[in-house]
Chain A
Amino acid sequence: MPTTVSMTVNGKKVSGSIEPRTLLVQFIRETLGLTGTHVGCDTSQCGSCVVHVDGKSVKSCTILAAQAEGSDVLTIEGVAKDGKLHPMQEAFRENHGLQCGFCTPGMVMSALDLVKNNKNPSEQQIRDWLEGNICRCTGYHNIVKAIAAGAKAMA
């Protein structure tokens, strides 16, 4: 039995007809065609699917699209402005904070939520915050450097 969901994604009002079991990540990727949000594990552990719902980082593979009805959603596609990378994205590039890039959208979205609450995070705070974001390539060190640099650039 399809139902209709409506929400705001990256500042645009969107809606779609979906099955109730549709995950938010499926709605974002398959209905809206925004494929920057990735699915790495599908078991709620890797964080490559992190988006913001009403300003808070959540794993979009572990929330139903129907639960996000009426919400304001921000995905990685909504982060750059006017064709210019966001300072946090730029910091990932500058600091070699990615290799294959699969985890990167989730890392950036998690990092932005961290900096929202903590303008000048310490290295330990950054590492603790990344508990739910897994990277198979970089060894995290440059991701941590990138987030510290991104936070500075955003100040």
Chain B
Amino acid sequence: MYNFEYQKAGSVADAAKAATGEAKIVAGGMTLIPTLKLRLASPSKLVDLGGIKDLVGIKAEGGGVTIGAMTTHAAVANSAEVKKAIPALADLAEGIGDPAVRNRGTIGGSVANNDPAADYPAACVALGATIVTNKRKIAADDFFTGLFETALQEGEIVTSISFPAPEKAAYQKFRNPASRYALVGVFVAKTKAGVRVAVTGAGEGGVFRKKSFEDALSKNFSAAALDGIKVDAKGLNSDIHASADYRAHIISVMAKRAVAAAK
């Protein structure tokens, strides 16, 4: 690791002021610290959000939930509010990494990082979540803009994420057998406005919606409704773990399982 300065921010305003130029925010550090160890990043300063109490916590609101950016994956997985409003979201959090990672990693860090194999981006997009920052509110559809790319600007900090409750939803993840990240993860949400399907792990540009599945499921919410809908392998990842064709096939399988499991 290259050396850097370290600052514990006292407030979001403090952090926003400090996190400019070569400085970087650190939340749970479960992505950033491994990156620093590999010398893939060399920030001049780390600005730690760890002391800002306002960023931690889960509120039930208007049938859905609002989750503070510094809330850990373990807290989401064990939250009575989340289990009641959106059980699929608690299940997703429980499936991230391992217990020690879930005790440190945060929802804000996960969405800000937008790893193409991360789980939360699929939930945000399928549930039509709103990402709240210190500057504005951004619809999930507009937030995730590409591989490790988001709509966040310099000095912009995710403060919370609001998830409206769906009628039913489920997340199904086909784990990479070594890393346990999603080789393919599919989040299906049946909402009043129709069905939304988001796919992570598979796309060259990160999370994406699967329109043909959404249309079929909006007419008939059953696994059989997806029979015969071909998933094009174009634009999907090919790597040593799986070819694009294989990922295309697994997208269908995971989507059907998610529909069957939705509650």
Q: Which residue numbers of A lie inside 8 Å of B, CB to CB?
A: 1, 3, 19-21, 23, 42-44, 47, 50, 56-59, 62-64, 66-67, 69, 110, 113-114, 129, 131-133
Known: A20-B46, A63-B104. A110 touches B99 (CB 8 A): yes
Tell me which residues across on chain A come within 8 A of B74, comparing CB atoms: 56
Tell me which residues across on chain A come within 8 A of B37, comparing CB atoms: 42-43
In the bound complex, what is the Cα–Cα distance between A44 and B74 (angstroms)?
Answer: 17
Known: A58-B103, A114-B99, A132-B97. A3 touches B6 (CB 8 A): yes
In the bound complex, what is the Cα–Cα distance between A20 and B47 (angstroms)?
Answer: 12
In the bound complex, what is the Cα–Cα distance between A3 and B50 (angstroms)?
Answer: 18
Tell me which residues across on chain A come within 8 A of B8, comparing CB atoms: 66, 69
Contacts A19-B3, A50-B100 known; list 7 others, CB within 8 Å. A21-B3, A63-B29, A63-B33, A64-B33, A66-B6, A66-B48, A113-B99
Q: Is the CB of A57 within 8 A of B101?
A: no
Q: Which residue of A lies closest to B98 (CB)?
A: A132
Known: A110-B99, A132-B97. A20 touches B5 (CB 8 A): yes
Q: Which residue numbers of B lie inside 8 Å of A, CB to CB?
A: 1-6, 8, 26, 29-30, 33-34, 36-37, 46, 48, 50, 74, 97-101, 103-104, 180
In the bound complex, what is the Cα–Cα distance between A16 and B180 (angstroms)?
Answer: 37
The one of B4, B97, B101, B180 that contacts A21, using a Cβ cutoff of 8 Å: B4
A-B contact pairs, 26 of them (CB 8 A): A20-B6, A21-B1, A21-B4, A43-B34, A44-B30, A44-B33, A44-B101, A50-B100, A57-B99, A58-B100, A59-B101, A62-B30, A62-B34, A64-B46, A66-B6, A66-B8, A66-B48, A67-B26, A110-B99, A113-B99, A129-B99, A131-B98, A131-B99, A132-B97, A132-B99, A132-B100
**A to B contact number (C-beta, < 8 Å):** 71
Tell me which residues across on chain B come within 8 A of A133, comparing CB atoms: 98
Q: Nearest Cβ distance between residue A126 and chain B, in whole angstroms?
A: 11
Tell me which residues across on chain B come within 8 A of A63, comparing CB atoms: 29, 33, 104
Q: Is the CB of B104 within 8 A of A58?
A: yes
In the bound complex, what is the Cα–Cα distance between A63 and B103 (angstroms)?
Answer: 11
Known: A21-B1, A131-B180. A64 touches B6 (CB 8 A): yes
Q: Which residue of A lies closest to B32 (CB)?
A: A62
Tell me which residues across on chain A come within 8 A of B29, comparing CB atoms: 62-64, 67
In the bound complex, what is the Cα–Cα distance between A132 and B37 (angstroms)?
Answer: 19
In the bound complex, what is the Cα–Cα distance between A57 and B50 (angstroms)?
Answer: 17
In the bound complex, what is the Cα–Cα distance between A20 and B99 (angstroms)?
Answer: 26
Tell me which residues across on chain B come within 8 A of A64, comparing CB atoms: 6, 26, 29, 33, 46
In the bound complex, what is the Cα–Cα distance between A51 and B2 (angstroms)?
Answer: 25
Tell me which residues across on chain B come within 8 A of A56, comparing CB atoms: 74, 103
In the bound complex, what is the Cα–Cα distance between A63 and B34 (angstroms)?
Answer: 10
Tell me which residues across on chain A come within 8 A of B36, comparing CB atoms: 21
Q: Nearest Cβ distance between residue B91 and chain A, in whole angstroms?
A: 13
